[in-house]
């Protein structure tokens, strides 16, 4: 990737305190991007931002700790970001939770998953897409799951949220690409993160978070006329 093209660019990443989001934050920062980090765990966000900012003479990482499903938090954060940091060139919706089960989950667990995995992404899209439209460019990457492509036993509640996210992502693909804003949904199977610990698959047989970072780098390196609607990635044990 040509870092001279990305030095002034800004990425906003939700779910940035751990797993895929953290890996993307670190990798994009290495590539010269400024990063806005969103997650609920303020302690982990502060530690990550401190580490990233120590690698540069200029501040290049900002944190906003809160729940992506909290519309007031998202609205206030977006106002601050747009006024004082800038319009994101890249929005990565990575925040997600997983309550394992289908009808065995409680109503509260199902509603929490919908609130974070679907409404959380919707909140950030509502907050930042108008600014992207105004600047005439941008990239939205929704971190979904292969569970948004194929339903399987034991995870129906999570599957529901990812099917919904993929539907939202595909609709925005058709709406925003003609306006110069790319939209891609990344749908991996088991990724070696805390969320996948219950799978029983050894970590070294799962997709590595660095593979998701490489996928994002690949997408960002494509020309303006190449717009993948989705990228589906499977690990060998899941085939």
- Compute CA distances 167 → 80, 98, 124, 144, whole Å: 29, 19, 16, 11
Task: Give the active site residue among 139, 158, 198, 218.
Answer: 158
| pLDDT of the residue at 7 | 46
Please give the Cα distance from 180 to 178 (Å, whole number): 6
Question: How does pLDDT run across 160-182, given as a tens digit for each residue?
Answer: 999 999 999 999 999 999 999 99
| pLDDT of the residue at 98 | 94
| Residue 37: pLDDT over 90 | yes
Q: What single DSSP character describes residue 29?
A: H
Superfamily covering domain 3-238: NAD(P)-binding Rossmann-like Domain (3.40.50.720)
Instruction: HSE, CB side, 13 Å, CA atoms: give it for residue 156.
Output: 7
Please give the Cα distance from 181 to 183 (Å, whole number): 7
Neighbours of 213 (CB within 10 A): 19
Please give the Cα distance from 197 to 209 (Å, whole number): 14
Boundaries of every domain in the chain: 3-238
| Residue 238: pLDDT over 80 | no
Tokens standing for residue 149? 């492509």
Q: Which residues pair with 139 in a beta bridge?
A: 90, 182
At 5, the pLDDT band (50, 70, 90 cuts) reads very low
| pLDDT of the residue at 3 | 39
Mean pLDDT across 123-137:
98
| pLDDT of the residue at 2 | 39
**Phi–psi pair at 100, nearest 5 degrees:** -65, 130
| Poorest-pLDDT segment among 49-58, 102-111, 182-191 | 49-58
Cβ atoms 161, 118 nearer than 8 A: yes
Is 158 one of the catalytic residues? yes
Mean pLDDT across 35-53:
97
Question: How does pLDDT run across 87-101, given as a tens digit for each residue?
Answer: 999 999 999 999 999
Where would I find the H helices in the chain? 19-30, 42-53, 71-84, 107-113, 120-135, 156-176, 209-221
| pLDDT of the residue at 8 | 62
């Amino acid at each position: 990737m040509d870092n001279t093209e990305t030095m002034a660019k800004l990425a906003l990443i939700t779910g940035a305190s751990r797993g895929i989001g953290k890996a993307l934050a670190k990798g994009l920062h290495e590539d010269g991007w400024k990063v806005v980090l969103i997650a609920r765990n303020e302690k982990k966000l502060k530690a990550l931002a401190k580490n990233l900012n120590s690698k540069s003479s200029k501040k290049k990482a900002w944190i906003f700790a809160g729940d992506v499903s909290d519309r007031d938090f998202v609205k206030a954060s977006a106002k601050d970001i747009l006024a004082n940091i800038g319009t994101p060139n890249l929005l990565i919706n990575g925040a997600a939770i997983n309550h394992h089960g289908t009808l065995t989950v409680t109503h509260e667990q199902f509603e929490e998953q919908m609130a974070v995995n679907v409404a959380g992404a919707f909140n950030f899209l509502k907050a930042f897409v108008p600014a992207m439209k105004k600047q005439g460019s941008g990239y939205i990457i929704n971190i979904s799951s292969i569970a948004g492509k194929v339903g399987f036993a034991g995870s129906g509640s999570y599957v529901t949220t990812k099917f919904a996210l993929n539907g939202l992502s595909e609709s925005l693909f058709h709406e925003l690409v003609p306006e110069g804003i790319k939209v891609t949904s990344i749908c991996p199977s088991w990724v070696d993160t805390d969320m996948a610990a219950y799978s029983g698959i050894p970590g070294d047989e799962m997709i590595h978070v660095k593979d998701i970072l490489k996928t994002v780098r690949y997408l960002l390196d494509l020309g303006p006329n190449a717009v993948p609607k989705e990228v589906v990635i499977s690990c060998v044990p899941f085939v």
